[in-house]
Amino acid sequence: MVSLPEAAKRAMRAGAEVSRFLYAHPEITARLPQSYRLVVLLLDDPEALGWALGQGKAAEGPVIYALVREGRVEGLLTPEGPVALGRAA
């Protein structure tokens, strides 16, 4: 059995929140590539942030970075640039 670092577990829990956010806002999801790797950057958790940044390096295809602070999605960064969230966040 593989044991994940606590930082990885925190990043994955936040990833579930980002997925729920994207599901609730199809107008934002429509602006993302058809296929991508989601990397959640916990801006208020340096340890989890460092772990997540390493995950983006090994990704195949485009990487979408979700910026999360205090459990709230603050932004999405795509290879083409930031995606405006407007009032959705």
Residues 2-28 have pLDDT tens digits of 577 888 888 888 989 999 999 999 999
Tell me what pLDDT residue 3 has.
72
- CA atoms of 40 and 30, how far apart (whole Å): 19
Burial of 55 per CB tally in 10 Å (0-12, 13-18, 19+): middle
What is the end-to-end Cα distance of the chain in Å, rounded? 36
Q: Which CATH code, of 3.40.120.10, 3.40.50.150, 3.40.1350.20, 2.60.120.380, is assigned to 6-83?
A: 3.40.1350.20
Read off the pTM. 0.84
Residue spans of the domains in the chain: they are 6-83
What DSSP line would sit under 19-67, residue for residue?
HHHHHH-HHHHTTS-SS-EEEEEETT-HHHHHHHHHHHHT-SS-EEEEE
